[in-house]
Amino acid sequence: MSQPSPVEFVRHPHPAPTTPEQRTAILRDPGFGRVFTDHMVVIRYTEGKGWHDARITARAPIPMDPASAVLHYSQEIFEGLKAYRTADGGAVMFRPLDNARRFQKSAERLAMPSLPEQVFVDALDQLVRIDRDWIPDGDGSLYLRPFMFASEVFLGVKPSSEYLFIVIASPVGSYFKSKDSAVSVWVSQELTRAAPGGTGAAKCGGNYAASLLAQMEAGRHGCEQVVFLDAVERRWIEELGGMNIFFVFNDGSMLTPPLGGTILPGITRASILALARDMNIAVREEPYAFDQWRADAASGHLKETFACGTAAVLTPIGTVKSRDGDFVIGNGGSGEQTDRLKSALIEIQRCRAPDPHGWVHRVF
């Protein structure tokens, strides 16, 4: 970054970091979100004082008063992005500035202070640099989790006057256990995730809390993921619990539901829209009804459906289940266009293809 950061980071490296032998063993099969690197970034916010006390320290539990506001009123937001190892031994992140901007929008919706974009990206850079040996080789990546929560000790209902911004990192392999095969989804026709005027477009923990019961219902029906419909008519497909959704038709054109405040504006979604347009694929942002999805799958008009997000990149959806019965998409496996878009995106993310949109941010 060219401009100096308005926040100075104090470094307290881990006194007894993980040994290279231990780390090698951990990185052999990290799973998703189970293991963490040695460090974290912490920045405090206090009303009247602003952002201060930025430090990079050993990852450790956070002492918390039981009256901390977040534990009662869920004033919390987060982000998720990945750092990748490049062929030349360096490291890159994918569109971190977009995460910084979305974090600001989430903060605004949850009545939280705005963290300057530069500070957000600097914090990520610092953590990736200090924990550089934790970035897996091959298909793996270092998942970065910036988050902010209300830390004021007060039970009154109001925006907190104190916050903590923290970044932790987790080396990850593949998100789904069944690697590369299509997932099955449960369409939730009763429980919804986000209502007009609510927090659906903000990346806040509360949205996830609200999605878990439907996710459990999906699990009971043998599905890996849940698809949410709109909260007003229970008719229009919105997104999954943590991923956006795309439909591919037999003429090669694509459709994804439009952002309207109830859908999370995914950076993977935006990247797929741009890549599709680069490849001269007609892609529309239009409402799509659950009934239409079923009818189009049956008639053969619909060829593929995939979910997309940072954690799982592009994941084909093979089977759709609901209380009105099941249906299969295409041959029930991955589709040609899904695979093509997925590799186009991964090649850019890993610096193996040109980056015409300037999405890749080099850390070192």
List residues near ligand PLP by CB under 6 A. 80, 203, 239, 242-244, 264, 266-269, 309-310
As measured in angstroms, the least distance from the Cβ of 315 to ligand PLP is: 12
As measured in angstroms, the least distance from the Cβ of 36 to ligand PLP is: 19
Output 113 or 309, the one with its CB closest to ligand PLP.
Answer: 309
By the 10 Å C-beta count (0-12 exposed, 13-18 middle, 19+ buried), 42 is classed as: buried
Output 145 or 321, the one with its CB closest to ligand PLP.
Answer: 145
Strands 81-85 and 141-150, bridge-based pairing: antiparallel
Cα–Cα dist 51/40, whole Å = 17
Q: Which residues contact 2 (CB under 8 A, 6 or more apart)?
A: none
Output 244 or 256, the one with its CB closest to ligand PLP.
Answer: 244
As measured in angstroms, the least distance from the Cβ of 92 to ligand PLP is: 16
- Reading the block at residue 241, the tokens are 């619990």
As measured in angstroms, the least distance from the Cβ of 107 to ligand PLP is: 15
Cα–Cα dist 109/360, whole Å = 28
Residue 215's alpha-carbon distances to 27, 37, 211, in angstroms, are 29, 29, 6
As measured in angstroms, the least distance from the Cβ of 35 to ligand PLP is: 20
- Give the count of beta carbons closer than 10 Å to the beta carbon of residue 49: 11
Residue 166's alpha-carbon distances to 50, 76, 242, in angstroms, are 15, 11, 21
As measured in angstroms, the least distance from the Cβ of 228 to ligand PLP is: 9
Output 80 or 173, the one with its CB closest to ligand PLP.
Answer: 80
Output 69 or 226, the one with its CB closest to ligand PLP.
Answer: 226
Cα–Cα dist 295/329, whole Å = 11
Output 90 or 205, the one with its CB closest to ligand PLP.
Answer: 205
